[in-house]
Amino acid sequence: MIHKDHPRYESLKLRAMVVDAYKRGILADSGMIAHGRGEAFDYLLGEKTSNNAKKAVKAAAAALILAENPVISVNGNTTALVPREIVKLAKEIQCKIEINLFYRTPERISAIEKVFKDVCAENVLGNDHEEKESIKGLEGPRSSSSKEGIYIADVVLVPLEDGDRAEELVKLGKLLITIDLNPLSRTAKTASITIVDNIVRAIPNLIEAIQELKGADPSTLHQIIESFNNNENIQESLIKISKKYTGVEQ
Ligand code: PTJ
């Protein structure tokens, strides 16, 4: 039991969710290591949403609204932390959810599928019974993609992704949106839009931005995307970290 007045309450709460998901067979053991890495970057970034993360969220919202075939790719960590929010986001933009695992096992696929069904997800792809296509350039189970989902998607939101898969998805011509607290990761640098923020803040922010932009005309949405520069945005995160620790910014 974590007390609410503990100074690290929010962070400890997320750790407890991650450990619980591991015990329930949802999270890969490496998922705990990945969470620890994210936690360290979140600490360096001040554990709050930066202005540049807000800019990336706005561009991501515009891209998702304009998409013809958007898909949200979910893994163990996403399922552990934000399943309800993912379902809300999918309903907001009428989009499919696809389970896509780096450490794929039939047991984890069905444990994750159950979590999403329990929170009323309508269309969960990526299980072991449907038709799949392999993503070129990737080997083994992590190359799997649903024929109705990521394979035909034009825009893919894929939080906490590994660098190889991110690169191959971009090579296939998909507009890739990621959420990654590590601004230096290969995925962060490969994606078209990288939201450098904790997924627990980024998904609710994305839902809010979509609600605000839904009525905007397509030319405004295109303009938001075109004026977004992912490289510059990532640089802003790095500058933020260095300013914070060289005393330039408190
Ligand atoms: O569930 P699976 O089998 O698909 O496996 C998922 C993991 C995350 C274990 C797998 O994809 C993996 O090993 O990923 P990486 O290469 O460790 O990358 C995870 C990235 O997510 C790292 O750059 C972390 O900094 C970042 N990260 C971790 N927790 C969060 C995060 N980013 C945003 N929000 C978080 N809460």
Q: pLDDT tens digit string along 176-204?
A: 999 999 999 999 999 999 999 999 999 99
Residue 63 tokens read as: 């891209």
Which token pair is 70? 């958007």
DSSP state of 135: P
Domain boundaries, the chain: 51-245
The Å distance, Cα 127 to ligand 1 centre, comes to 21
12 conformational bin, left if phi > 0, alpha if psi -120 to 50, beta if neither: alpha
- pLDDT, one tens digit per residue, over 9-54 is 899 999 999 999 999 999 999 999 999 999 999 999 999 999 999 9
Q: Each residue of 72-83: pLDDT tens digit?
A: 999 999 999 999
Query: What phi and psi values does residue 133 have, to the nearest 5 degrees?
Result: -125, 150
pLDDT at residue 250 greater than cutoff 60? no
Under the banding of pLDDT at 50, 70 and 90, the label for residue 136 is: confident
Predicted pLDDT at 51: 96
pLDDT grade for 2, boundaries at 50, 70 and 90: confident
CA-nearest residue for atom 35, ligand 1, is 198
Q: Considering Cα of 133, then 151, then 30, then 164, what sign does the dihedral take?
A: positive
When the pLDDT of each residue in the chain is averaged and rounded to a whole number, the result is 94
Q: Which of 236, 208, 241, 245 is nearest to 42 (CA)?
A: 241
Pocket test for ligand 1, best of 32, 45, 160, 237 (most atoms within 8 A of CB): 160
Pocket of ligand 1 (CB under 6 A): 28, 30-31, 34-35, 37-38, 41, 75-77, 81, 101-103, 160, 162, 179-182, 185, 198-199
Taking 60 as the threshold, does the pLDDT of residue 165 lie above it? yes
ipTM of the complex: 0.98
Is 37 marked within a binding site? yes
* pLDDT confidence bin for 99, thresholds 50/70/90: very high
Nearest-CA residue for ligand 1 atom 14 is 162
Which pLDDT value is given to residue 105? 94
Identify the pLDDT of residue 249. Answer: 61
Q: Span 51-245: which CATH code? A: 3.40.50.12640
pLDDT, residue 246, reads 84
**Cα pseudo-dihedral 145, 37, 83, 203, rounded to 10:** -100
